[in-house]
Chains A and B, each alone.
Chain A
Amino acid sequence: MGKIVLENVQKHFGTVKVISNVSLTVEDGSFVVFVGPSGCGKSTLLRLIAGLEDATGGRILIDGADVTDLPPTKRGLSMVFQSYALYPHMSVRGNIGFGLKMAGMPKDEIRKKVDAAAATLNLTPYLDRKPRMLSGGQRQRVAIGRAIVREPKGFLFDEPLSNLDAALRVNMRIEIARLQRSLGTTAIYVTHDQVEAMTMADKIVVLNAGSVEQVGSPLELYDRPANLFVAGFIGSPKMNLIGGATAEPYQAATIGIRPEHLIVSRDGGGWAGTISVAEHLGSDTFLYVEVPGVGLVTARTPGEVSFHAGERVMLQPDPARLHRFDKQGQAIRG
């Protein structure tokens, strides 16, 4: 149980509109990721759902019940903060069990639940330590333990992995995704890392300047971005967006082509250009090609192909994978 519905939710700080008219449905048990550039209102939207901020307008429903005016405690959600926000003077056991203690659960029952949560998260050896005696990854797991032990209707994560190093991030990403699947609890996850978004989400919500640009599964957003913003935001390296004379033959104001959908050859057809930088990543090679009249175009080729800076190459866009956008930046379909 944990269907979360937002209806025309707004949030103003004084005269500043931070969230304008967001409507959204998060299905029970699904994993929804909010992505968007810094300052677009991801955290604010999450805090509105948590009840840590009051909505200026609109309604928030959890399992059909209007919770807009309820305090955080009454909403049955739990949150993992970016800074973890562990209680420094309590042991790991105390931290994980605090919510249960506040709910008035008997001591031995708390003990059992904390032990179970700790076992799931490999925290059993650390139960009697204080948070400052843990590594970043362990603290992260304590924060997650604190969230799962109460068996909430939904988890809210605000950039939970941003303080971890790259390798640990990948591990925790997989761990969180697996945990969420096995518990079957609704989760809303904020990140600005699109790899996290693409790999973890059932559904991605792309936010920009306080409103929703597009909602869809990761592949939907990748294959059919609704507008220029989503096209430029989802995918790495970024989609090439080309306007002007090059776009005209396609009856569009702007055309977009992903680096991986350009066929690179020494003597095929398409746009002729000079490689200005070649980045060899092993598995892939990214070519930054200067094409006269078009600009700098990024192309992605398999790692074993040997192109070098200074070489002249031809770039042929795959017509089936070409995206067209009108003057307003909306995608043209068909």
Chain B
Amino acid sequence: MAATVNTRKLARAMLTPAVVILFIWMIVPLLLTIWYSFQNYNLLSPENTGFAGFMNYKYFLTDPAFFQAFWNTLTITLSVLVITVVGGILLGLLLDQFIYGQGIVRILVISPFFIMPTVAALVWKNMLMDPNYGIFAWIATRLGFAPVAWLENYPLFSIILIVAWQWLPFATLILLTAMQSLDEEQKEAAGMDGANFASLFVYITLPHLARAITVVILIETIFLLSVFAEILVTTGGGPGYASTNIAYLIYHQALLDYDVGGASAGGVVAVILANIVAIFLVRLVGKNLEA
């Protein structure tokens, strides 16, 4: 009893520095952002300073660009989640079967994850989707179609495609590992019970994957809500605001419009939205993580 109490005290003491540093690390930027969001602070009109009340928020939330950015953020997040989870399950099932050349195929499947978002986006923009010398254009011309200017005509779809390509390996990896941890005897028992491939998948594999799918959704959502590099490099948020998400809109305000106060208000709004989504998600799928 005494020993465990002492151990616990010691553990707390040892943990304290790390927790304090992490806390400062997170809380200082957050507090600064909140502070700025209530200030008049625009680099283009330095004479206009002082407390702004909720003006920055009002300005950000009533901007028509905000609504578009909001929906774009949700669209990107949801579409990429659907594509990567479904694609990851299919690829996982495939890789689970392969015997020959498995090692190489796996490395190939995983490699997109190691490419920096900026580089990946540049590759897609210049080598694949470019209407003049991209590979897609070349294929289209070969087949007798007019090349498509992906980034100009389908900007949001293109962004979704690029981001999904980057996250598919992650989903595949996690889901494949989960599939391989499925007890072989359970599959055999289901086989003896008369389950065919489809029922085996629906009744045995999928429930077994529930937890892994939850993990994939939670982790991906955190990153997908703030996709930025891919947009900056490819479409620049355009045309208009067609491919602007909230992260990009904040950047736009801070560094293109030099409105620090407005951008900070946007940042706070983004944090609140992310928290709403997080609460929603944890409620929705988090129960899979229990027990």
Contact = CB atoms under 8 A, between A and B. Distances in A.
B186 A85 contact: yes
A98 B203 contact: yes
A85 B194 contact: no
Contacts, number: 58
Given A79-B189, A85-B188, A102 B183 contact: no
B186 A103 contact: no
Interface in B26-66: none
Contacts of A52: 188, 191-192
A98 B210 CA distance: 19
Interface in B193-211: 193-195, 199, 203-204, 207-208, 210
A96 to B, nearest CB: 10
B190 interface: yes
Contact of A102 (B188, B193, B208, B291): B193
Interface string A67-91: 0000111000111010101111110
B185 interface: yes
Nearest to A82: B185
A72 B192 CA distance: 5
Given A87-B186, A87-B204, A89-B207, A102 B192 contact: no
A79 B185 CA distance: 11
Given A98-B203, A102-B199, A85 B185 contact: yes
B194 to A, nearest CB: 4
Contacts of A329: none
Contacts of B204: 87
B191 A98 contact: no
Contact of A73 (B183, B185, B194, B208): B194
B189 A81 contact: yes
A87 B194 contact: no
Contact of A146 (B188, B193, B203): B193
A87 B208 CA distance: 9
B247 to A, nearest CB: 37
Contacts of A103: 194
Contacts of B195: 98, 102
Interface in B205-241: 207-208, 210
A289 interface: no
B208 A85 contact: no
Interface string B164-194: 0000000000000000000101101111111
Interface residues of B, number: 18
A184 B208 CA distance: 36
A114 interface: no
Interface in B261-283: none
B191 A72 contact: yes
A87 B190 contact: yes
A89 B209 CA distance: 11
Given A52-B188, A83-B185, A89 B193 contact: no
Contacts of B192: 50, 52, 72-73, 77-79, 99
Interface centre among A81, A85, A90, by most chain B C-beta atoms within 10 angstroms, is A85
A266 B120 CA distance: 92
B185 A98 contact: no
Nearest to A104: B194
Nearest to A74: B194
A50 B192 CA distance: 8
Interface of B: 183, 185-186, 188-195, 199, 203-204, 207-208, 210, 291
10 contacts: A52-B192, A72-B191, A85-B189, A86-B186, A86-B189, A87-B204, A99-B193, A102-B193, A102-B195, A150-B193
List the 10 closest A-B pairs by CB distance, nearest first: A99-B193, A102-B194, A85-B185, A85-B189, A89-B207, A73-B194, A85-B186, A72-B192, A81-B185, A72-B191
Given A71-B191, A72-B192, A102-B193, 18 more contacts: A50-B192, A52-B191, A73-B192, A73-B194, A81-B189, A83-B183, A83-B185, A85-B186, A85-B189, A87-B189, A89-B207, A89-B208, A90-B207, A98-B195, A99-B192, A99-B194, A102-B194, A102-B199
